[in-house]
């Protein structure tokens, strides 16, 4: 049985993503209030696997999670892309005419803005979690309240789905990273199918420094799929660059890393895994 730490409660999108990624396997889900607690669980018990969201096609990147990942000492061993779908749910004996408040995570509320604008009589109330809102309504019997969550979460907590697929954009996906203690990485990733890597590095404050790195990656046929810069706290105008690359030839990938090391400062490979 695998023990997987997630941010959120059972029925959350993290929970759904974990079960999809480890489909067919027995899981013990460790629910955490914060992403920091996910990494604390891995630190306390190296056998624990972490799963965390890193970017959404609408809301963008979760910038704080990049720093947590870099400083945690964990490594990425996989990724999973989840189609985000929202439903509005309430207590089983209630209906549309009873709903006065709609509770959910602020991002979920934002992603259902058009739906909510068509129901001005319903007050949108921000909460910490989508599935957590469903759990709270079920546990406390909150009449007149509805939750925006995944339909599976509504079912888990015994709520009635009034309407499914209420999200504004039907092409809404979140990318999750699977992380673990580096000593356990080779047991969790398919070494023969590794074709993606995540790197982080800083650069000298010189003209063209980033361009030189990108030119070398291109020379070795390394495909840059994402680049995210974050400021180095306490060092004005210095940045850390988080880069995702994909490759077909692992030897040329290794050669490209050797080639850019002299051009970067503190280059760190934070994961090598199979592209989703």
Q: Using one digit for the tens of pLDDT, what is the confidence trace for 8-26?
A: 999 999 999 999 999 999 9
pLDDT at 234: 77
pLDDT at 192: 84
Segments of the chain with pLDDT less than 50: none
Q: What are phi and psi of 263, to 5 degrees?
A: -95, -10
Structure tokens at 22: 């480890």
pLDDT at 205: 79
CB 112 within 8 A of CB 126: no
pLDDT at 59: 83
Structure tokens at 91: 């207590």
**Overall pTM > 0.75:** yes
Taking the C-alpha atoms of residue 159 and residue 99, their distance in angstroms, rounded to an integer, is 13
CB 30 within 8 A of CB 39: no
Nearest CA to 127 among 151, 102, 144?
A: 102
């Amino acid at each position: 049985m695998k023990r997987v730490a997630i941010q959120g409660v059972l029925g959350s999108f993290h929970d759904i993503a974990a079960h999809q990624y480890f489909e067919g396997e027995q899981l013990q889900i460790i629910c955490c209030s914060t992403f920091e607690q996910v990494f604390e669980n891995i630190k306390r018990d190296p056998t624990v696997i972490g799963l965390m969201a890193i970017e959404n096609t609408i809301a963008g990147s979760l910038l704080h999670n990049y720093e947590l990942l870099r400083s945690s000492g964990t490594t990425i061993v996989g990724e999973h892309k989840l189609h985000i779908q929202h439903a509005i749910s309430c207590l089983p004996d209630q209906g549309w005419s009873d709903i006065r408040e709609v509770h959910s995570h602020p991002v979920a509320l934002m992603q259902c803005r058009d739906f909510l604008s068509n129901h001005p009589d319903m007050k949108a109330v921000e909460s910490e979690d989508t599935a957590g809102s469903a759990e709270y309504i079920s546990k406390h019997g909150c009449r007149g309240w509805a939750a925006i969550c995944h339909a599976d979460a509504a079912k888990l907590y015994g709520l009635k789905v009034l309407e499914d697929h209420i999200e504004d954009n039907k092409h809404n996906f979140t990318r999750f990273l699977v992380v673990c203690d580096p000593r356990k990485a080779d047991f969790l990733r398919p070494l023969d199918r590794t074709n993606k890597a995540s790197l982080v590095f800083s650069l000298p404050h010189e003209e063209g420094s980033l361009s030189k790195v990108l030119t070398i990656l291109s020379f070795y046929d390394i495909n840059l799929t994402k680049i995210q810069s974050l400021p180095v706290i306490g060092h004005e105008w210095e940045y850390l660059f988080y880069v995702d690359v994909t490759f077909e030839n692992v030897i040329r990938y290794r050669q490209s890393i050797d080639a850019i090391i002299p051009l970067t400062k503190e280059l760190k490979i934070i994961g090598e895994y199979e592209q989703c």
